[in-house]
A and B are shown apart, each in its own frame.
Chain A
Amino acid sequence: MITKEIKITNRLGLHARPAALVAQTAADFDCEIKIAKGPVEINAKSIMGVMMLAAEYGSTLRLSFDGKDEEKACAAIVQLFTDKFNEEI
């Protein structure tokens, strides 16, 4: 299992479009992917779950990946966050 902490750096936070991107990307992998913010932990393959986190700018998320393709999954999801979901220049 891989765990990773990540900070939200796009100004709008995890609103609908980024949430959709996270869920879509997560669904491409077989491993279990969880995202936690504070006490709330959700399945990253669920768009509703990701939206429910209501993760705003500056908040910190804990990501965990568990399964055969966990490394690839981790790289892909982290990439989305570092690219700020391609929203900003």
Chain B
Amino acid sequence: MAIDRTDLTRRGFLGMGVAAGIITLTACGSDSDKKSSGGGGGAADLVMTVWGGDTDKTTYQQRIDALVKKFPELKVKLQLIPGDGYAQKVQTMIAGGKGPDIMQVAENVNVYSSKNQIMPLDDLAKKAGLDLEQRFGSIGKIYSYQDKVYAIPDRSGAMIVYYNKGLFDAKGIKPPTADWTWDDALSAFKELTIPGKQWGYGGGGWWAQWWSFVYQNGGKIIDDAGKPAVATDEVIEALQWTGDLVFKHGVVPTPKQFADMGADVGADGAFANGKLAVNTTGFWGISGLAKSKIDWNIAPLWRGKEQAVTAFGSGLAISRTAKNPEAAFKAIEFLTSPEAQQKIIATGEDVPASIEVQKSNAFLKPAWMTKPVDMNVFAESSAFVYRAPFIPAWNEMQKAFDDGLADFWLGKKDARTSLTAIQKRLESIVKPAS
């Protein structure tokens, strides 16, 4: 009898332990109810997650301060998560039932929308009288999934051309323009290259770069039916052109040459060191060049058969678990209004998505800008931003390109072979939206 009892205790104890384990696993789900606040009366405590560094933190906080000043009933707690860990952190927050109310999203927006984790905002926008196309131009509905808008654009800048003015002037070459063709670009790169020392261009190995050329060439990564279409002649030709810049024409450093410039020195760093005549990247290049000794300016991306360029940006979305979606939308509505968006350029953080601000003097001549940089380039580029395929399997698609093009960027395979293989892999990854 006594023995039985001890046995029971032991088993009971283990059982309790297992139960405790399962409870902790599931308990995270119910925890979140605690911090819900009085939803009525429009007052709300909101949690907002964003990624980035110090400048981002300051800028978002300034915008939130302005919001709270105007709408004292809204309380927004900013949570900044360093870029690398953002997706994982938000994923665990949501899975644990403590998802943010407002979250920053970008290319991966449809990871969340396809899995029903963020809300469609069309109705809320209509109720608030917010016209997306009027406020943000062509990118107004860029964060859509199956014809519904899931995030309001917040930051949006096209990829632009940075060119080394000193090198261009020395060779007597006219600065790049939006009317440059691929041939114009190539012949300029050739003239600006000194083998082993200086290169005409930083290269197009990043998706944002070579995809721009694909869309310029009339190709598409994902076709209108939602199927991958990377083994088409248009895509192959564009990729081959990008690759030929490295191995056929030698006007772009090879991966080896980049690796020799130092750990993690890419085109941005090489351009700042004066080793490249041209580089294509986003707005952030400007702050990266603030301390550089070279004389530089910016221009819109050149063209192929058509004009097309990738835009970088992010939007603000409302999570499915938000206790007070109306309040969250009110906050987003204000944060994306010209008044709040001005702070994005005032701190030099990024390009605000608001067209009005992009065209304002505050943007064209920011107080912190010490060089005569042609900021109008951003508004000019906005006109021909192509609609990149933000599919739910975005990360997997990028990995398929990374893997499948590894040998291509080393000059060991041609574009057709690589893309044919990638097309096969993408067909198993990308399921067209039904």
Q: Are A and B associated in one complex?
A: no
Q: Which residues of B are interface residues toward A (Cβ below 8 A)?
A: none
